[in-house]
Structure 1
Amino acid sequence: MGESRGSRAMFMFLASWVRPVMNALMDKEWHGQEKLPRGTGIIVCPNHVTEIDPVVVGHFLYNQGIMPHFLAKASLFEVPVIGAILRTIGQVPVERSSAGANRSLEAARAALADGGGIIIYPEGTLTRDPDMWPMKGRTGAARLALQTGAPVVPIAHWGAQEVFPRYAKRFYLFPRKRSRVLVGEPVDLSDLSDAPLTRTTLDAATDRILDAITDLLAQLRGEEPPAERWDPAQKQQKPTGRHFEAPDDGPDASPTGGRS
């Protein structure tokens, strides 16, 4: 199998203008491409620090000959033109109902069967960690991996948040920034492959994926990550949206934050 002719043509069309824009916005430094599995569908799990992450990761994967497929809100597929493009390039609609979740899973499986890369952010949204480390995750990537047997590839990237900080309203282009990407070895979940898909199993797999991403990010940043992963629920933060801060956060909080 493989990407359809229409899908590849649309990817090429989009890449013809996205790649020059990304090259103009930032220098790039990519490492670990040789660790990407070939000849099979893969689940790519990056860290999530800025709204332009998908373009950074998609650009990287496309340059490696891997067609990137993201999970996108189902409502986007109803928007004229945008919906047609998303369907053509095999992006995966995410719905909240049980039936919709099953359709999303089947669409993800189809993309994996075609040898594409399904990009799933284990954190589920932009990290709430003040220092931008990966926070406590959700189990979607782990569930798909254990159900399909597809390899899970951790990816860390750093630098794009300087061009477009978390929930920013404008780009910061000068001085010129550099986006760095580092690919890790596929996460070993073999000991969990035959285990029942209980919450315990899914949490263990998710923690393993996030540990791998955090280790890669620590290498990129040259810093030690926090001993304990940030948990928005414990901090009374909202799970989604830009206004996620706890009620006692001050009005002068930085877009990128920082531990005091």
Structure 2
Amino acid sequence: MSPVDPQTPAAGLPSRAARAGYVIPAAIVRPALRGLVRQVWEGTENLPETGAILAVNHISELDPLSVAHMVYNQGLLPTFLAKAELWKVPVLKQVLEATRMIPVERTRDGGRSLDAAREAVATGRAIIVYPEGTVTRDPDGWPMAAQSGAVRLALQTGAPLIPVGQWGIQELLPYGGRAPRPFPRKTARIRIGAPVDLDDLCGAPMTASGLRAGTERMMDAITAIVADLRGEPAPAGRWDPRTGRREPGA
């Protein structure tokens, strides 16, 4: 039997070098979040051990750190598809590069971000996608109309598409440049759902109608989780930022 190089990961598992880039950010972020909010994580048994796509509702500019903390604590490496403009911010650029986040050029990406995401899934990372593309503009904070990238990536890779809902951290840092509100201490809840069923779409030609159907299932699952976390029913339809109103089947 050939010796195993300890620096070479088994198929589908992140390398030791990949994990090393998270050590310093994790040492800063984890204690800071623990001090700022009570964190409640539910459904973590729905996370696979390697190679997953997490589709998450976006409610605060702070929630990527909260979601990444949850994922990292489950032994996975959180990898975001993030807008390329963030790589222009000093210090943040170094963190993004060290943790191998994936830049997205919104106007001229040409599929490069999806190619990079496929490679990341193949090496066992957890790809975190905000299907809405930005912090929700719904006046009441509900998930908005979504883009189909997460479903496309799941169909292309065969990785499970995991719906994730969160609520509470927006009370610490509301969207829109408002000041943080650390007191009283807030509770940030994250719940991981069962994988979205895309079996009927797998192996079939990828069409716009199929991607829309898969995206609707994904957003229905996320919205149902958020409704449970909020303890109230979701409104009919979803907010469409293009029209500035809730649209049926958006």
Q: Which residue of 2 aligns with 1:244?
A: none
Q: Which residue of 1 aligns with 2:59?
A: 49
CA gap 1:233/1:155 in 2 versus in 1, 3 angstroms: same
Q: Which residue of 1 aligns with 2:234?
A: 225
**Structure 1 length normalisation: TM-score?**
0.85
Count of paired positions: 235
**Which among 143, 146, 156 is matched to residue 152 of structure 2?**
143
- 2:103 counterpart SS class: strand
Query: 1:234 deviation in Å?
Result: 2.4
**Which among 114, 117, 120 is matched to residue 111 of structure 1?**
120
**Which among 171, 178, 203 is matched to residue 212 of structure 2?**
203
1:182 aligns with 2:171: no
Of the structure 1 ranges 50-59 and 225-234, higher mean CA displacement relative to structure 2 is found in 225-234
Query: 1:80 deviation in Å?
Result: 5.0
Q: Which residue of 1 aligns with 2:27?
A: 16
Gaps of 5+ in 2: 1-10
Q: Is the 8 A contact 2:25 2:95 kept in 1?
A: no
Q: Is the 8 A contact 1:6 1:88 kept in 2?
A: no
- 2:116 counterpart SS class: helix
Distance 2:14 2:94 in 1: 16
Distance 1:72 1:169 in 2: 22
1:69 aligns with 2:69: no
**Structure 2 length normalisation: TM-score?**
0.88
Distance 1:235 1:169 in 2: 21
Of the structure 1 ranges 83-92 and 214-223, higher mean CA displacement relative to structure 2 is found in 83-92
Distance 2:173 2:97 in 1: 27
Instruction: Output the amino acid matched with 1:20.
Output: P
Instruction: Output the amino acid matched with 1:108.
Output: A
Q: Which residue of 2 aligns with 1:245?
A: none
Distance 2:40 2:60 in 1: 18
CA gap 1:232/1:178 in 2 versus in 1, 3 angstroms: same
Query: 1:103 deviation in Å?
Result: 2.1
CA gap 1:236/1:36 in 2 versus in 1, 3 angstroms: closer
- 1:14 counterpart SS class: helix
Instruction: Output the amino acid matched with 2:37.
Output: M
- 1:155 counterpart SS class: strand
Query: 1:145 deviation in Å?
Result: 1.1
Q: Which residue of 1 aligns with 2:68?
A: 58
CA gap 1:79/1:228 in 2 versus in 1, 3 angstroms: closer
Query: 1:199 deviation in Å?
Result: 1.6
Distance 1:164 1:79 in 2: 20
Structure 1 segments, 4+ long, off by >4 Å, are 78-81
Distance 1:216 1:53 in 2: 16
**Which among 36, 59, 62 is matched to residue 47 of structure 2?**
36
Of the structure 1 ranges 213-222 and 4-13, higher mean CA displacement relative to structure 2 is found in 4-13
* CA deviations over 1:130-164 (Å, ceiling 9, x no partner): 11111111111111111111101111111101000
* CA deviations over 1:192-247 (Å, ceiling 9, x no partner): 1123222211111111100000111111111000121122222279xxxxxxxxxx
Identity %: 50
**Which among 24, 37, 42 is matched to residue 26 of structure 1?**
37
CA gap 1:9/1:104 in 2 versus in 1, 3 angstroms: same
Distance 1:107 1:70 in 2: 11
Of the structure 1 ranges 196-205 and 25-34, higher mean CA displacement relative to structure 2 is found in 196-205
1:168 aligns with 2:182: no
Q: Is the 8 A contact 1:127 1:133 kept in 2?
A: yes
CA gap 1:55/1:112 in 2 versus in 1, 3 angstroms: same
Query: 1:104 deviation in Å?
Result: 1.3
Gaps of 5+ in 1: 238-260
CA gap 1:226/1:63 in 2 versus in 1, 3 angstroms: same
Q: Which residue of 1 aligns with 2:243?
A: 234
Distance 2:79 2:129 in 1: 9
Distance 1:224 1:173 in 2: 28
